[in-house]
Amino acid sequence: MANQTPAECLGKLRVLYGDAFKVYDATNAQIIEWAESPEVWATHQIAFRGWTFPAVEAVVRSCRILRKRAKTAAFCKIKGAQEGR
Q: Which residues are within 8 A (CB) of 9 and not within 5 positions of it... i.e. 6 or more apart?
A: 66, 67, 69, 70, 73
Verdict on whether the full-model pTM lies above 0.85:
no
pLDDT score of 49 = 93
- How many C-beta atoms surround the C-beta of residue 34 within 10 A? 18
Instruction: Domain ranges for the chain, please list them.
Output: 6-83
CA 62/CA 68 separation, integer angstroms = 10
pLDDT tens for residues 18-71?
A: 998 888 888 888 988 999 999 999 999 999 999 999 999 999 999 999 988 888
CA 2-9-41 angle, to 5 degrees, is: 135
Q: What is the DSSP letter of 27?
A: -
